[in-house]
Amino acid sequence: MSTNRVAVVESRIDEYLRSAAPAARRLAPEERLRDGRGPTAREAVELFEDQVLSRTLDVAARDLKRDGRSFYTISSAGHEQNGVVGTLLRTTDPCFLHYRSGAFMMSRLRKQGGSTPAFDTLLSLCASKEDPVSGGRHKVWGSDELWVPPQTSTIASHLPKALGTAFAFPRAKRIGFDTGLPRDAIVCCSFGDASANHATALAGINSARYSFRKGNPTPVLFVCEDNRIGISVETPRTWIRDHFAHLEHLRYVEAEGDLVDVWEATARAVRACRDARTPVFLHLHTVRLWGHAGSDVETTYHTLAEIEAIEAQDPILANAKLLVESGAATPDELAALVADTRERVAAAALEAAERPKLASREEIVAPLAPYREDACRAVARTSRASAEKRAEIFGDKLPEERTSPTQRTLAAHVNAALHDVLAAHPHAIAFGEDVGKKGGVYGVTKGLQATFGPSRVFDTLLDETSILGVAQGAAHLGLLPIPEIQYLAYLHNAIDQIRGEACSLAFFSKGSYTNPMVVRIAGLAYQKGFGGHFHNDNSIGALREIPGLAIAVPSRGDDAVKLLRGAVAMAEADGRVVVFLEPIALYHERDLFEDGDGLWLADHPPVGEVLLPGEVGVHHGEARDLLIVSYANGLRLSLRAAKRLREQHGVAARVVDVRWLAPLPHEALLAHARECGAVLVVDECRATGAGIADAVVAALAESGYGGRLGSVRAADTYVPLGPATDHVLVTEDQIVDAARRVAR
Amino acid sequence: MTRLAIVCPGRGSYVEAAMGTLPAEHPWVREAEELRAELGLTSLLGLDRAERFRAAEHLRPANVSPLIYLISMLDAAEAAERGRTVAVAGNSMGWYTALAVGGALSFRDGLRLVQEMSLLQEQLAGGGQLLYPLVDEEWRIDGERVARVESALASSGGRAQHSIHLGSHAVLAGDDAGIRHLLDALPPVDQGRVRYPLRLVQHGPYHTRFVESVSARARERLADLEFARPRTTLIDGKGRRHTPWSADVRVLRDYTFGAQVTEPYDLASSLRVLLREYAPDRIVLPGPGNTLGGVVGSAVVRERWRGVDGKSAFVRMQAGDSPLVDSMRR
């Protein structure tokens, strides 16, 4: 057999166009292809141009790869009927597309005058920094102007945000926020048959159905491009239909057959979604030509006969035949079209391959985590509710005037701060499990829904993946989402929504797209009388390694207010994704040293005061025997330990609260360390990579700080139930012992 | 075979040096003379063979437009012999020529379009166009000049607007008050022996809402113009591609009488599409003069095409073995 299946498929098209006879009757340009159905002759040829361009770019990708000039060969070959979807959607329908969307994008970009789809794609294949979508960071389909936020899409992790966009769109309208999209816009999301099995895909589809069932308009068009294989593993013949054709609250439309059938089915699906505002599942049958990617040797799992049977279903060939036989075009015309496309792509490829690549680390990471301190401070200063509005919300006593202990705890302060944020930012929304009616399992969101209404503050279904999907979708539309993850342990089944999606968006879109949000997560250990690992998870390692993510963690109520304002300011000013980690055990803590001392209560900071990365909290700044570095529960324990060290051991310990777990305030810590000459890091998270101890110790060691160093950390174990926790978590006694050793 | 792109010039391109070049026996020249006679207009051959160049006569819109059209058409036909034409674009009035070069209009219909539009434009009272450079001596965008133009337009109270985005220069248009405002608001710039802002003689406020009446009347008077699918891809003044296989003749007609007349003409976008999507071996500039030479050159610089990053590099490339731009009458 020929090993170059690309050439075989290409020559089959050429051979057909060389030998075919034109139809006896020519269709008029505006005549439909068959019995008044399908595209007009002109539309069909236009679509064919897009499909051939997509195919030609796929071939170019492989040619360029052979010479080491391109770096991506996962192609759209065989999937070109998705150009029908690209044609029938509007450029104001947001689209989240998977990687075989070449023809879809060619059809969509055609709608924009001045677009240069061929050259843009070639730049992207060659990883040139001039690639307008990702700036050479990934081969992704996207368009800033045409509402296609780029997706990596390899594991269908983009479905939740598509659902989120469809869910948030009518909600934005309800709260009077102008998204710039027309009222009847719909959201489209495409994926393959294999990735339809991903938990994330199923979560997105499930949540769309749930949302619709709950009475929310949810206009999302799921397009499953079924090529019946995932790399080498076949999808059972009717699996997609079996699974999705009979689900309540999900319209299923099957697009199978020739172009006319696919066109009609797609039009029906788009219409249903647009008119009925319902989730629709478009099952688009495709084939996959030339293996999964250029490096995939298909003969290891397919026989030649199987490969040829797939190639015989080539949609380009099928469409060429249909166009010729229906009289929409002559074989000569299509041959000229194909030749012209190949020629111009080949010529443009020579130029694109020479375009500059990303050449430095600074250039590559530039869009990842923009931070403009001045802009953040300006947002914090200017985004405030009017005095009247605050009086209306808070009643006779503003938070900063409150003296009652129950109103001066960390939980009460976060609650008041959230009220202020929602009042100052009319496009902010807060949501999560039990966030609305109940006001949160710890009362942190109490009263928010009553004050701001269920359109802005609402309960979600119990699925963290979808909560974060809604956050991304809402952010795409311009809202400021403040989702809540009820417990840190629950984040982990959904963390890819932050890691692979939300935080990667600015990177893969070279900053064109952002999804600013503040993700509130209740977490960390030390809850008295309420235990077990899943409510006391003490690992933030999975968050800290996410590029571009900022993480704030308060220990005291007043800090919590200022950090939350800082987080919101970073989201607003620089489009950042910020995690606001709330230590559950400190929510209602009042005392520091003794019962009833009330030293853990705080006054509400004046509006406008804010804490941003790098701004550490310093306790006992005059002390110089030892520096204790900590955060959250560890900070409170450290302050207690410092008192004992001073009174019982004559050691004067300075205690610094890092406040931001990412980015870590290395500069400030180094300055304090140099003044003290001995450093103890108190990290309440698990010992191995779960907290900040490794990073702080390593940074100090590498910075030239020559003093003594030590750390105390929790055990590398899950947190047990009840009093047994004392054996695995960091204790005050451990801190005192370690401090004495380090301070010597 | 060499892949050619053709870019047809606009109305400001006619120069004295173009005189005496019309081949009297060419069928197109004869056809043009017939039409001129029918309309009671001066003979084009007469203008071509005149003893001397007289701006008032040679540059009168109804005379200069068909002269440019005719010379461009003759040149384009000659150029087509040198390779295979893969795309055709034009600047402003050059769009009408492009329609005919690309085969979307017959020679005669293209001429009628050019002639009729120029007559309608002559009837316009007041307003005009002026030119202001946006690039420096090396053809690189000068942000300050761009900002000056935007600010002058913003303070015009809607009396002045963008007319043509050449990329290298802004062509601005306005009613009389608008033009006066621009002449006051734009600081003078001396570049290439020209002082800007440069008022374009006998030019109306084309490609703006000020000429909506032209659009309506042209539609009416040229209702019988027969648009066809082009033989070669056309790139219009919005950077849209109209291919031989899928062009919509209704769109072509509607654009030609509508947005092309009343909305800014984006030649910069058109040239960008031409370079990036067609990557021609040669860009041919037919017609009299060489007004588009620098415009196309600066488009090449803007795209850093073939690594050309400034005027000097462009000049070097042009002097080398494979020049990109071929100005036929340079």
pLDDT digit string (tens) for B112-159?
A: 999 999 999 888 888 999 999 999 999 999 999 999 999 999 999 999
Q: Which residues of B touch A324 (CB under 8 A)?
A: none
Q: What are the tens digits of pLDDT across the range A666-687?
A: 999 999 999 999 999 999 999 9
The minimum CA-CA distance between B245 and chain A, rounded to whole Å, is 7
How does DSSP assign A497-556, residue by residue?
IIIIIGGGHHHHTTTS----EEEEEEE-S--TT--SGGGS----HHHHTSTT-EEE--SS
With CB atoms and an 8 Å threshold, state whether A329 touches B245.
Answer: yes
Tell me the CA distances in angstroms from A543 to A496, A539, A662, one per residue in order: 10, 9, 9
Q: Above 90 in pLDDT, residue A532?
A: no
H or E stretch at B198 = strand B198-200
Q: Which residues of A touch B3 (CB under 8 A)?
A: 343-344, 347
pLDDT at A358: 97
With CB atoms and an 8 Å threshold, state whether A347 touches B3.
Answer: yes
Q: Which residues of B touch A336 (CB under 8 A)?
A: 244-245
For residues A169 and A171, give the distance between their C-alpha atoms in angstroms, rounded to a whole number. 5
Q: Residue A713 burial by CB count (10 A; 0-12/13-18/19+): exposed, middle or buried?
A: buried
With CB atoms and an 8 Å threshold, state whether B248 touches A29.
Answer: yes
Q: Which residues of A touch B306 (CB under 8 A)?
A: 351
Q: Which residues of A touch B243 (CB under 8 A)?
A: 49, 337, 340
Q: Which residues of B touch A42 (CB under 8 A)?
A: 246, 248
pTM equals 0.96
Strands in A330-405 per DSSP E: none
Q: For A15-31, what is the mean pLDDT? A: 98
ipTM over 0.85: yes
Q: Above 70 in pLDDT, residue A1?
A: no
With CB atoms and an 8 Å threshold, state whether B245 touches A347.
Answer: no
Taking any CB pair shorter than 8 Å as contact, residues of chain A touching chain B are 29, 42, 45-46, 48-49, 110, 113-120, 329, 333-334, 336-337, 340, 343-344, 347-348, 350-351, 354
What value does the mean pLDDT of chain B take? 95
Q: What percent of chain B has pLDDT over 70?
A: 100
pLDDT at B227: 98
Give the nearest partner residue to A340 out of B86, B266, B276, using CB atoms: B86
Q: For A36-50, what is the mean pLDDT? A: 98
B246, B266, B271, B324, best to mutate vs chain A, most A CBs in 10 Å: B246
Strand, helix or coil at A223?
Answer: strand
With CB atoms and an 8 Å threshold, state whether A116 touches B244.
Answer: no
Q: What are the tens digits of pLDDT across the range A163-183?
A: 999 999 999 999 999 999 999
Asked which of A23-32, A149-158, B96-105 is least confident by mean pLDDT, the reply is: A149-158
Tell me the CA distances in angstroms from B324 to A345, B6, B229, one per residue in order: 18, 12, 28
B305 reaches A (C-beta below 8 A): yes
With CB atoms and an 8 Å threshold, state whether A114 touches B249.
Answer: no
A27, A57, A124, A351, best to mutate vs chain B, most B CBs in 10 Å: A351
Answer whether B101's CB lies under 8 Å from B88's CB.
Answer: yes
Give the nearest partner residue to B243 out of A49, A120, A334, using CB atoms: A49
Nearest CA in chain B to A118: B277
Q: What are the tens digits of pLDDT across the range A283-327?
A: 999 999 999 988 888 999 999 999 999 999 999 999 999 999 999
Q: Which residues of A touch B282 (CB under 8 A)?
A: none
The minimum CA-CA distance between A325 and chain B, rounded to whole Å, is 16
What value does the mean pLDDT of chain A take? 96
With CB atoms and an 8 Å threshold, state whether B245 touches A333.
Answer: yes
Q: Which residues of A touch B276 (CB under 8 A)?
A: 116, 118-120, 348
Q: What are the tens digits of pLDDT across the range A87-143?
A: 999 999 999 999 999 999 999 999 999 999 999 999 999 999 999 999 999 999 999
For residues A541 and A207, give the distance between their C-alpha atoms in angstroms, rounded to a whole number. 28
B322 reaches A (C-beta below 8 A): no
Band the pLDDT of A418: cuts 50, 70, 90. Answer: very high
pLDDT at A3: 64
Band the pLDDT of A2: cuts 50, 70, 90. Answer: very low
Nearest CA in chain A to B1: A343
Band the pLDDT of B235: cuts 50, 70, 90. Answer: very high
Q: Which residues of B touch A129 (CB under 8 A)?
A: none
Answer whether A30's CB lies under 8 Å from A22's CB.
Answer: no
Nearest CA in chain A to B282: A347
Sign of the CA dihedral with B114 first, then B116, B117, and B118 last:
positive
With CB atoms and an 8 Å threshold, state whether A119 touches B277.
Answer: yes
Nearest CA in chain B to A323: B245
With CB atoms and an 8 Å threshold, state whether A351 touches B279.
Answer: yes
Chain B, 258 to 297: residues with Cβ < 8 Å from chain A are 266, 269, 272-273, 276-281
Which structure tokens are listed for A175?
Answer: 């709260």
For residues A148 and A91, give the distance between their C-alpha atoms in angstroms, rounded to a whole number. 9
* Phi/psi of residue A4, nearest 5 degrees: -95, 85
The one-character DSSP state at A24 is: S
* Strands A550-552 vs B282-285: parallel, antiparallel or unpaired: unpaired
Tell me the CA distances in angstroms from A360 to A363, A491, B214, B274, B307, one per residue in order: 5, 34, 54, 32, 21
pLDDT at A308: 96
How does DSSP assign A596-649, residue by residue?
T--TT--PPPPTT----TT--EEESTT--SEEEEE-HHHHHHHHHHHHHHHHHH
With CB atoms and an 8 Å threshold, state whether A115 touches B239.
Answer: yes
Q: For A577-595, what is the mean pLDDT? A: 98
pLDDT at A16: 98
Answer whether B286's CB lies under 8 Å from B9's CB.
Answer: yes
The minimum CA-CA distance between B193 and chain A, rounded to whole Å, is 33
Give the nearest partner residue to B279 out of A46, A337, A347, using CB atoms: A347
Q: What percent of chain A has pLDDT over 70?
A: 99
For residues B161 and A96, give the distance between their C-alpha atoms in angstroms, rounded to a whole number. 37
The minimum CA-CA distance between B246 and chain A, rounded to whole Å, is 5
Q: For B170-186, what is the mean pLDDT? A: 96
Residue located via tokens 């009272």: B125
Quick one: which of A171, A142, A161, A173 has its CA closest to A222?
Answer: A161
With CB atoms and an 8 Å threshold, state whether A347 touches B306.
Answer: no
